[in-house]
A = this chain, B = another copy of it.
Amino acid sequence: MTCLVARLATRLEALVIEMPEPLRIGLLGRGTVGGAFEQLIGERAEAVAATTGRMPELAGILTRSSGDFEQILNDSDVIVEVMGGLDPARDYVEQALKAGRHVVTANKQLLSRHGDELWALAAEHGVQLRFEAAVAGVVPVIAVLTGSLAGARIDRIHGIVNGTTNFILSEMARTGASYAEALAEAQSLGYAEADPTEDVAGIDAAAKIAILARLAFGTPVHVDQVGREGIERIQPDDIEYASELGLGLKLVASAERVGDALSVRVHPVFLYPGHPLASVDGAFNAVTIESEAVTDITLAGPGAGGIQTASALLGDIAAIAAGQSLLLAPIDNPLPLADDAESAYYLHLEVEDQPGVLAQVAALLGEHEISVRSVVQRGLGANARLVMVSHRVADSRFAAALEQIAQLDALKSQPRAIRVLEEEFGG
């Protein structure tokens, strides 16, 4: 009998020794993402423990109506912040870092405004501030920029990082719907908010590319420094005519070296069919990272969704559980932000169908040293439609030419100009 007890005790001891140490998580926010994260932890905790040696477990949840932040902080090793917005998220994240807690966040607004202060605060207190879920959901672009490409010299990043606008543009292209119709469709499916400004004006995408630019170029970029143009003024005609040239329209966020400076922008652009982003449709996200050494790497997948974003959070939790550190490029040599950028342009003109109009337009482009890559001219009764695509030119130079073209007598309506993305390296 004593012998049996002793044997049991020995076995229990063995079990206790093999029990992985817990990683206690305080969850701030239980909306779609927070709820999905809570569920995912329940399902995947053991798999994380098997790989990392620590068992993630929820220590407390703060919602609008329940939970006490101080208490949750006290009971946690890691804080997962999925409240969104700046207030009170910023204060909670700061308090958590100061208290020596790791933080995992999906908050792009916060990081695109106060990222470097917060990363510095984390470093000062010997903890991590991870954020895979803040950009392109489960598409592992943060992991790749801070990991696999930590030693690479990156020249250019282009991303479709907002699912709402990509869905709207995909619908416009697929059905010929107007912007307003496609937006209403997105709203009815839950892909767009009642007030869609944050998405359609490119603000959300600007926050995300600001974060990517910081990682890829070691240069802090505030969301307000990102050049920005939304999709609100895109017309079905633009999409239809450009498709004659084989071009498809996307809202693209870009960060690229222009000479010794850094240009960071969000705008609608036409893509050639071979471009890695051209086939990314609907609510999907994708990011292409270009470098002379690696040509280009494209990462694609669902950019939003509760369970997908929760998976990205769990990846960060696993990294912390495994004691991985986060490699942020130092900002000891930041690039100045470019005043001007370079783009190829699609130009669409409705003109009187009379001899010499094409020559006038071509002459004005020539004066500004803008070279033309392709032209489609087509008669429309007394008028003609002239669609041209230029090679790369400084944006300021193109704007000057466009101003003069807009004053031509033969023009029947305002000229329409949209950027075209050209690939720099193979593909």
Contacts and interface: CB of A to CB of B under 8 A. Distances in A.
B302 A300 contact: no
B151 A44 contact: yes
A209 interface: no
A40 B151 CA distance: 10
- How many copies of the shown chain assemble into the complex? 2
Interface string A407-427: 000000000000000000011
A318 interface: yes
B315 A148 contact: yes
A379 B124 CA distance: 76
A10 interface: no
Contacts of A44: 151-153
Contacts of A43: 153
B327 A308 contact: no
| Interface size, A (range) | 35 or more
A300 B48 CA distance: 27
Given A52-B327, A325-B323, A327-B52, A297 B151 contact: no
27 contacts: A40-B293, A47-B151, A50-B329, A51-B150, A52-B150, A52-B327, A138-B295, A140-B143, A143-B147, A144-B144, A147-B318, A147-B324, A148-B315, A150-B318, A151-B311, A151-B315, A151-B317, A274-B281, A293-B307, A293-B310, A294-B302, A294-B308, A294-B311, A295-B305, A297-B300, A297-B301, A324-B327
7 nearest CB pairs, A to B: A297-B301, A140-B148, A148-B315, A150-B318, A151-B318, A151-B314, A48-B151
